[in-house]
Amino acid sequence: MDLGLKGKSVIVTGGGSNIGRAIVLGFAGEGANITIGDIEVAQAQRVAEAARKAGAGDVQVIETDVTKLDQVQRMVKAAVKKYGTVDVLVNNVGWDQTMFFTKTTPEFWDRVIQINYMGVLNCTKTILDVFMEKGKGAIVSISSDASRQGEPREAVYGGIKAAVNSFMKTIAKENGRNGVRCNAVCPGVTIPEENEEVGKNSMWVNKDTMFTPEQLEKVKKALPLRKIGRPKDIANAVLFLASDNVAGHVTGQVLSVSGGYSMVG
């Protein structure tokens, strides 16, 4: 099936690691022109090279901290300058450290909020100026199934991701008349297969700080599909929602891609 993404201009924030990397490579396989916005330029450049080999029309890396509005604006301007427009924004940047809420601090709360929510606000606000002018565009935000179920040791993160879900629905309602579609994808536990898939700032740089092998085995056994998610699983869902050809009548939706961890409906 032709997703119609060949030649489209796509921005992927946090495209250098784990899920973001898989999303970039997925769009590359469809022949898209990709702008990777990432704070780790060297890691992102490695992904860009892999994307070129995978069939991307073109790839550029723009150093971007999504918590800084001026840097987000610079990233979007660079995409428009090089590719003429932007067709798809993927709000992928995310960060967390798992711990019980009683162990967290206000400084931790602020970092989770800034990266996982303010980053989405900055990118969405900036891209809407482009989309509203052209009368078309798609936004896909990476959320988390912790936003739908509530998850021990992810109280702040899950709450913020629930805010992302609600925000995407509201933006979809406000801007559907302008041809803008907005959706969210909620991964469950999704781990990279190789260490080179993550950068030094990734929450997965040391897998054992997130889940021990024994914990991962318990997670696997608890899921209906009996397997842990991989980055490509999430990328496939993003490509679907980004495509006007197959998801052109889909907006304001929150899609769980978690092996059955949550079943909302």
- Residues marked active site are found at 157
| Two structure tokens written together for 103 | 């162990």
Q: Which whole-number Å values give the CA distances from 107 to 112, 156, 202, 242, in the listed order?
A: 9, 12, 18, 35
**Which residue type is seen at 224?**
P
Structure tokens of 260? Answer: 């059955």
Q: Write the CB contacts of 121 (distance below 8 Å, at least 6 apart in sequence).
A: 167
Which residues contact residue 102 at a Cβ distance below 8 angstroms, ignoring those fewer than 6 apart? Answer: none
DSSP string for 1-31: ---S-TT-EEEEETTTSHHHHHHHHHHHHTT
Residues β-bridged to residue 182: 139
Give me the torsion for CA of 70, 147, 189, 258, rounded to 10°.
-110
**Integer Cα distance of 213 and 219 in angstroms:** 10
Tell me which long-range contacts 200-209 makes (C-beta under 8 A, separation of at least 24): 200/40, 200/43, 201/17, 201/39, 201/40, 202/17, 202/18, 203/94, 203/95, 203/96, 203/97, 204/17, 204/18, 209/97
Residue with tokens 């428009």: 80
